[in-house]
Amino acid sequence: MRWDHIIRNGEIVTPSATYTANIYIKDGKIAAINEEELNGDAKEITDASGLHILPGLIDTHVHSRDGGATYKEDFYHSTQAAAAGGITTIFEMPNTNPTINTVENFKKQVNNLQSKAHVNFGIWGICLGDLNNKDLLPLTEAGVIGFKYFWGYAVNKNTFQLVYNYSEDMVDVIAPCDDGQVFEMFEEVAKTGRSFGIHAENSDLINHLTKQLEQKDADDYNAFLASRPNLAEELTIQTGIAMAKQTGARLHILHVSTAEGVKLIREAQQEGYPITAETCPHYLFLTNEDYREIGPVMKVYPLVKFKKDQEAIWEGINDGTISFVCSDHAPHTSEEKDGDLWTIPAGMCGVETLAPLMLNAVSEGKITLQQLVALLSENPAKQFDVYPQKGTIQVGSDADITIVNLNKRHVIKTEDLHSKSKITAYDGFEITGMPVQTIVNGTTVMKNGDIIFKPLGELVTPK
């Protein structure tokens, strides 16, 4: 037998077990898993002695800016960053240019991204209310991974791009949807069976408080927090859960940042409703107290909040309230992030540091390696209906594999990032545990931090 790739002597990790075995790959699939060596040679052989083999890690929340603001980031660089960080599949957000509001634009985006993809990718569809309710079922059939609604944001009438900080005097801008329009959106997404992800911040409250508070010290993070309080997330999650209960939509709360949000989601789950949630490393590893040292680069939406919120989010991870962790990778240039806290854009790099930070959490005993596999692989694969094609190591599954060294020490450095714009809040963070090999469709794309293969990623669609 001539195998494409053999991985020998590694410790395979699942959410429920760890065992030593060899993996045999053929035609991009896992063809055999065996404790004893099978006959045959291979084009590529990996000795994983002393290392742990994980099902390929998935980042469900990435803004690669492609098409659109590719001077900040593009898919070629974001997928290199993903591979460098041990990620084998990313799900690309829909607020691109053109936005993913129709099947035509979905197909354009697939064609745009395919040749640049160092890892596999799925694509979210956007919900714009009356503007594209009729397009949601066709987008589902075309293969979007799920639907996202940027709750409370206005839309440019000509480009359908999102408009932040809406005011009634804006020209060529469609006002944010009212609750009746949002409810109809929930009904339409429920018909598709796909996950309905919401950016949960109450823009009316935020806009009102911002007018009151933005005259304060331009670099006062706690004043800025007061303009985007925990209540903004709590109100929107509360409304979203109520609408999901009424419509049967598979509501998914994006980037949960508050203790109040975790509590509401937990209560809905205990009542038996299919409400799920994600969070991001910045809410797990940073608090408002870090702003003094890190500065404006840590500005993200929703904002990084308080220690009590961080503790509640970790509790939500450990009791299963929060299903997975993702990056919300959203780069800006260093020039854009250098300025007034109130006016600079929100977002930073994250896809490359997601897995290393979570592996460090393993080294610190915050979670187990088996939990990490659930959080970064199996749970997202199941959530978005790509399991067992993705998210597992079993015969017949895609040969997407992340190999990690739990003992490898590393210092995160801004200049080492593979993204086009290198903005991170984690510059100088010392961590233990690193991805050392990323295998996509059976082929090694990254080894020891270096990208060693051309783009070969493929579109991932739900089954």
* pLDDT tens per residue across all 463 residues of the chain: 899 999 999 999 999 999 999 999 999 999 999 999 999 999 999 999 999 999 999 999 999 999 999 999 999 999 999 999 999 999 999 999 999 999 999 999 999 999 999 999 999 999 999 999 999 999 999 999 999 999 988 888 887 777 877 778 888 888 889 999 999 999 999 999 999 999 999 989 998 898 888 766 667 899 999 999 999 999 999 999 999 999 999 999 999 999 999 999 999 999 999 999 999 999 999 999 999 999 999 999 999 999 999 999 999 999 999 999 999 999 999 999 998 898 899 999 999 999 999 999 999 999 999 999 999 999 999 999 999 999 999 999 999 999 999 999 999 999 999 999 999 999 999 999 999 999 999 999 999 999 999 999 999 999 8
* Cα 236 from Cα 224, distance rounded (Å): 19
Residues contacting residue 293 through CB under 8 Å, at least 6 positions apart: none
Backbone angles phi, psi at 272, to 5 degrees: 95, 10
pLDDT (tens digit per residue) in 186-197: 999 999 999 999
State the pLDDT at residue 348. 97
State the pLDDT at residue 438. 98
Domains of the chain: 57-386+418-430 (3.20.20.140)
State the pLDDT at residue 64. 98
Residues contacting residue 174 through CB under 8 Å, at least 6 positions apart: 131, 154, 155, 156, 157
For residue 19, count other CB atoms closer than 10 A to its CB.
Answer: 10
Question: Is residue 90 within 8 Å of residue 59, measured between CB atoms?
Answer: yes
- What is the longest distance spanned by two Cα atoms in the chain? 73
Backbone angles phi, psi at 406, to 5 degrees: -70, -15
Q: Residue 317 is encoded by which pair of tokens? A: 């991870």
State the pLDDT at residue 175. 85
State the pLDDT at residue 214. 73
Q: Residue 377 is encoded by which pair of tokens? A: 């692989």
Question: Is residue 276 within 8 Å of residue 383, measured between CB atoms?
Answer: yes
Among 121, 125, 57, which Cα is nearest to 90's? 121
Residues contacting residue 238 through CB under 8 Å, at least 6 positions apart: 264
Backbone angles phi, psi at 277, to 5 degrees: -155, 155
Question: Is residue 240 within 8 Å of residue 200, measured between CB atoms?
Answer: yes
* Helix or strand run (H / E) with residue 362: helix 354-363
Residues contacting residue 353 through CB under 8 Å, at least 6 positions apart: 85, 281, 327, 412, 417, 424, 426
Residue 167's Cβ-count burial label (10 Å; 0-12, 13-18, 19+) is exposed
Q: Residue 359 is encoded by which pair of tokens? A: 């592996």
State the pLDDT at residue 218. 62
Question: Is residue 99 within 8 Å of residue 161, measured between CB atoms?
Answer: yes
- Kindly tell me the sign of the dihedral angle through the C-alpha atoms of 407, 412, 416, 421: positive
Residues contacting residue 227 through CB under 8 Å, at least 6 positions apart: 206, 209, 210, 212, 213, 214
Question: Is residue 359 within 8 Å of residue 431, measured between CB atoms?
Answer: yes
State the pLDDT at residue 217. 62
State the pLDDT at residue 211. 85
State the pLDDT at residue 328. 98
* Cα 109 from Cα 97, distance rounded (Å): 9
Helix (H, G, I), strand (E, B) or coil at 415: helix
**Strands 18-26 vs 41-47: parallel, antiparallel or unpaired:** unpaired
* Cα 363 from Cα 366, distance rounded (Å): 8
State the pLDDT at residue 161. 77
* Cα 136 from Cα 125, distance rounded (Å): 8
